[in-house]
Amino acid sequence: MDFNKKLGLIGRNISYSFSKKFFEEKFQKQMLDHFSYEIFDLQEIDEVENLFKDSELLGFNVTIPYKEKIIDYLDDVSDEARAIGAVNCVLIHEGKKTGYNTDAFGFEKTLKIHRKPHQNTALILGSGGAAKAVQYVLTQSGISTKTVSRKSELNFENLDKETVDQHKIIVQCTPVGTFPNTDECLNFPFDGLSKDHLVIDLIYNPNYSKFILKSAENEAKTVNGYYMLEQQAEKAWEIWNFKKK
């Protein structure tokens, strides 16, 4: 039998974790009692150096705010992660630290299930690591995109109803409205939405964010981030277990 194998999640102020529950249930079902999954709450990214000293660490997931910053601490990144500019999964094999982006895989699966043929323009709300993975997938799928963020030309102050109406896919990539701050919601012209819109909010906790609820009130089809999260986790498991792929 293999020696103990540690996996985990790095982020800052992680008050909840889908990943820990997901992987611990997986270990239980597959009777992998030599695997463990831990939460590594890092106040600064350079604290990751201490993790790399642990010889039992097989890899880890990466969440806000380190998906971009982690790249400087790795030996290599996959082509996809390099193109996206963000990493959410790290494999440590024979001392080599390699970054991957499984968010793209998870989002692509979500998009394929829910997208309708007329939905070929998208607004991406946010500009962090998750938003970069979303933009990559949308562009690869032939969908034209515009980013809305606090610092972009198109921002939450000047975004209008007409622009929302012209973009039939809306992807909410910011953490606004995540547990425990479930009453928060982005400033967004929800009256620009219609039954022709697909709204994907990457938040999964709560199941129905304020953004999802307000979008549904305006007849948009709404999807939360749970399926994407599940799919990216499965892809991460594949990476950690099939090192030569």
Residues marked active site are found at 67
Separation between Cα atoms, residue 205 and residue 177, nearest integer Å: 9
Q: For residue 77, what are the β-bridge partners? A: 99
Terminal-residue alpha carbon distance, the chain: 22
Q: Letter for the amino acid at 118? A: H
Taking only Cα atoms into account, the Rg of the chain, rounded to an integer number of angstroms, comes to: 18
Q: What is the DSSP string of 23-92?
A: HHHHHHHTT-TTEEEEEEE-SSGGGHHHHTT-TTB-EEEE-TT-TTGGGGG-SEE-HHHHHHT--SEEEE
Question: What are the DSSP E strand ranges found in the chain?
Answer: 5-11, 35-41, 59-62, 76-77, 89-93, 96-100, 121-125, 144-148, 169-172, 198-201, 221-223
